[in-house]
Amino acid sequence: MPKRLSLLIAALFVAGAIASAGAMPPTSDEFDRRVIGGSQLYDPAPPAVAPIAGTSRTIAALQVLMDRLGISPGVIDGRDTPRLRAAFAVLRETAIGNRIAGTRDAVAIADALAATGGDAFRDYAITEADIAGPFTPDIPHLYVHQASLAEIGFRNPREMLAERFHMDEAYLAALNPDADFNAAGTIITVADPGRDLQRRVARIEASKSTRQVRAFDAKGALVAVYPASIGSAATPSPTGTFTVRNKAQDPRYTYDPRGSAQPGLADGLVLLPPGPNGPVGNAWIGLSKRTYGIHGTPEPARIGRAESVGCIRLTNWDALELARLVRRGVKVTIGD
């Protein structure tokens, strides 16, 4: 375990748009596959966005700090959860984290934030581009119905902005109770999680017990930690060592009615359009064990809590970051 993780220094990568080459980390290959197949997906339920109780500004600030240091908290939501505690245990092993006594040590958290980019939150003015869309306000629950959409996009600007700033949508709404998210010029409070990593990943480990994915460089130093949903008792993820077979940004997904996700609803294969609210989100890392992979999700708040149907799910922003940092052939070990 290194004493300090690298600060996040690559340009923010949002909404599937690839930044200019000068701002992007070097990669060995582009996202090279835009249609993926298989059926090892979880069965999503429509997300509920409502005010959430029990949130803490200090907890949210800690989550921002962890995000900046490559220890992803998943969604920034101000909540003290097992997912947060698992990430905090990793943070405590770093030079910055070992000075933080607990998850509510506001003074030490503020000092650490000052050393890694400043305050945890900032003001953001909603732009005309933010509200221009296109959006997909009505997303059917069934994959066979999603296939008729042009894109399985964000439902509205608020959902898009929540993902851009790595936030739970309900928490973003709670921080800005009077904001009109559909009006350009509206000033909102958002998290300031820093920028994407650019250190090359040479090895990945996924742990079913900790519900974490850890990425290491060629020298064995920890690059990043991500909370993950990894299989279930009924549909477990495979155990063993595999390799990265391919990658996809904004993938189309082929629904197979013979699979375990929404089985038997079509006579043959059905191609779904891309989009962040699609079954695999907007990033896919395919493994050498076919139909299995590491991918994004339409419901980031459930990562690390809900189970999946075989695959490894990350938030969209974590899946995109990891996909940019791995090459084909990188080893992925999935263990208990």
27-47+197-335 topology per CATH: L,D-transpeptidase catalytic domain-like (2.40.440)
Q: Give the tens place of pLDDT for each residue, 77-120.
A: 999 999 999 999 999 999 999 999 999 999 999 999 999 999 99
Handedness of CA 293, 41, 60, 170 (dihedral sign): positive
Would you state the pLDDT for residue 5? 37
Closest CA to 310 of 245, 234, 201, 240: 234
Confidence of residue 222 (pLDDT cuts 50, 70, 90): very high
Of residues 267 and 157, more confidence is placed in 157
pLDDT given for residue 20 in this prediction: 29
In degrees rounded to 5, what are phi and psi of residue 270?
-130, 125
Q: What is the DSSP string of 67-129?
A: HHTTB--SSB-S---HHHHHHHHHHTTSTTGGG--STT-HHHHHHHHHHTTS-SEEEEEPPHH
> CB neighbours (10 Å) of residue 4?
10
DSSP code, position 141: S
Under a CB-based contact definition with an 8 Å cutoff, are residues 223 and 97 in contact?
no
The number of helices, as runs of H, and strands, as runs of E, in the chain is 8, 14
> pLDDT value at position 299?
92
> Among residues of the chain, what percentage have pLDDT more than 90?
70
The answer for residues whose C-beta is within 8 angstroms of residue 153's C-beta and 6 or more apart is 133, 134, 135, 136, 275, 276, 277
Predicted local confidence at residue 26, as pLDDT: 33
Q: What is the pLDDT of residue 309?
A: 54
pLDDT of residue 176: 97
- What is the residue extent of each domain of the chain? 27-47+197-335
pLDDT at 3: 36
Query: In the prediction, which pLDDT does 284 show?
Result: 95
Place 283 in a pLDDT band, splitting at 50, 70 and 90. very high
Q: Which of 51-55, 122-126, 133-137, 265-269 has the lowest mean pLDDT?
A: 51-55
Residue 141, amino acid:
H
Q: What is the pTM of this model?
A: 0.84
How far is residue 283's CA from residue 319's CA, in Å, rounded to a whole number? 6
Q: How far is CA 256 from CA 37, 87, 143, 270, in A?
A: 8, 35, 10, 7
pLDDT at 10 over 90: no
